[in-house]
Amino acid sequence: MHPAVSVIFFTVTSGAGLGLIFLIALGWPMHGGLIPAFLVSLLAGGLTVAGLLSSTFHLGHPERAWRAFSQWRSSWLSREGVLAVITLVLFAIYALVWMFTGKRLSALGFPIAIFAALTVYATAMIYAQLKTVPNWHSALTPLCYLSFALASGLVLASTVGQTEMIASLPVSVITALALVAAWIAKLLWWNRADKVGFSDTGSNTGTATGLGHLGKVKLLEKPHSGENYLTREMVHQIGRKHARKLRLIALVLGLALPLLLCFLALSTGWTTLLLLIAFVSMMAGLFAERWLFFAEAKHAVSLYY
């Protein structure tokens, strides 16, 4: 499928923001005082809002985006929007109390963490629910989205947080473990995506044309000579060689370099600076990973064209 920059930015950036909100709400140690609380809250909320706003650029009529909220009973896209608003409103209340009283309300923080995780899950389910895209139609898709949101949030929380130890473990080690776990999930996702086909979800040329009841269907030529919306958006192709290179780039920037920086932070004590660089590198790797998520996806409509 054709990768939309706005959707890539949305899924990566909002994931990091919601991951940070999740950790803040659960009580990750942060610097006290009005200004630090404001800046950290602004960072977490800003990343989330920036991602959500960017997603509207992919809509034909962004001014009608509000109508999606009414379809929460049947649409994961609508559920994502509703959950995101609930998360941000509750987090705004949490942040205000934190800034002006210095208290972090665990009674409010726990529901915020749940809603943040559910928002990321709903985002992933927009894609995982689609049987027409075999690559996406897997429980590994929400697992990857949640893992990457937590890992990117951890890198950021370790950068701006107050402590260097959590449960007797250095934050650099915790971050490194989260990175490894997230990318293991992604490697499993890639391994499955390389093997799965349209037949696994019941799609073939016969179902695509509606002529399957007549026997085995073969296409002699394309339905029409020119392009249309479906061929532009749903039938994007990327060479296997280029995909391998981009996967390697994603792994180097998203895993190898951040891991190296985590261990350097552990040995040098320059946690803030090195983990900040690790976060920037990881985000670049995730942009490559998410671009591939869309570019390598094959929609069943391609069987018709």
In total, how many domains does the chain have?
Answer: 1
Q: Angle at which helices 140-160 and 271-295 pack, to 10 degrees?
A: 160
Mean pLDDT of 181-192: 96
Q: How far apart are CA 16 and CA 21, in angstroms?
A: 9
Q: What are phi and psi of 169, to 5 degrees?
A: -115, 135
Mean of per-residue pLDDT scores for the chain:
86
The answer to whether residues 191 and 55 touch, using CB atoms and an 8 Å cutoff, is no
Residue (of 221, 143, 219) closest to 183 by Cα position: 143
Given this model, what pLDDT does residue 302 score?
Answer: 65
Reduce the DSSP state of residue 42 to 3 states and report it: helix
CA atoms within 13 A on the CB side of 223: 12
What's 167's domain CATH number? 1.20.1630.10
The beta-strand segments (E) located in the chain are 165-166, 169-170
Taking 60 as the threshold, does the pLDDT of residue 229 lie above it?
no
> Any bridge partners for residue 166, and if so which?
169
Given this model, what pLDDT does residue 152 score?
Answer: 96
Higher pLDDT, 162 or 205: 162
pLDDT, tens only, 101-110: 999 999 999 9
Q: Is 284 left (phi over 0), alpha (psi -120 to 50) or beta?
A: alpha
Given this model, what pLDDT does residue 65 score?
Answer: 62
Q: How far apart are CA 108 and CA 26, in angstroms?
A: 9
How far is it between the farthest Cα atoms of the chain?
Answer: 73
pLDDT, tens only, 96-146: 999 999 999 999 999 999 999 999 999 999 999 988 888 899 999 999 999
Given this model, what pLDDT does residue 182 score?
Answer: 97
In which band, very low, low, confident or very high, does the pLDDT at 293 lie, cut at 50, 70 and 90?
very high
Taking 90 as the threshold, does the pLDDT of residue 254 lie above it?
yes
Domain span holding position 81: 5-303
pLDDT, tens only, 24-83: 999 999 998 999 999 999 999 999 999 888 877 766 666 566 666 777 778 898 899 999
Mean pLDDT of 213-221: 73
Taking 90 as the threshold, does the pLDDT of residue 150 lie above it?
yes
Mean pLDDT of 168-191: 94
The pTM score is 0.88
